[in-house]
Amino acid sequence: MRIENHPVLTFEKKKKIPFYYNGNLVYGYEGDTVASALHALGIKVLSRSIHKKRARGFYCAIGNCASCNMVVNGKPNVRTCITPLEAMMDVKNQEGKGQVYGT
């Protein structure tokens, strides 16, 4: 899913960044946001709606729509589309509205 060659842009080989998705060790690249790294891994379902549990994914990319909200390092409702990926980040799918205290 990563673009290797492009007529206008240059995508250099960047540093690999390890992180956890639902407990599994996966990799993104320097410059990724959490959401773009997950998308490149083929993970399209980022959250579920609160009542009907409908799948939601990458939609607006500017931190506006909340479809990409996930639990990152224990913090819920993180807009993963505008959150830069950091090494060893713990990313989990969120259940419902998310809990601020405790896990």
Q: Are 82 and 63 in contact (CB under 8 A)?
A: yes
Identified binder of another protein from the candidate list 16, 18, 63, 74, rule CB under 8 A: 63
* Two tokens, residue 15: 């540093």
Strands 75-79 and 90-92: unpaired
Residue closer to another protein (CB basis): 33 or 94: 33
Identified binder of another protein from the candidate list 21, 33, 72, 91, rule CB under 8 A: 33
Residue closer to another protein (CB basis): 26 or 40: 40
What residues make contact with another protein under the rule CB under 8 A?
1-3, 5-9, 11, 31-33, 36, 39-40, 44-46, 49, 54-65, 67, 81-84
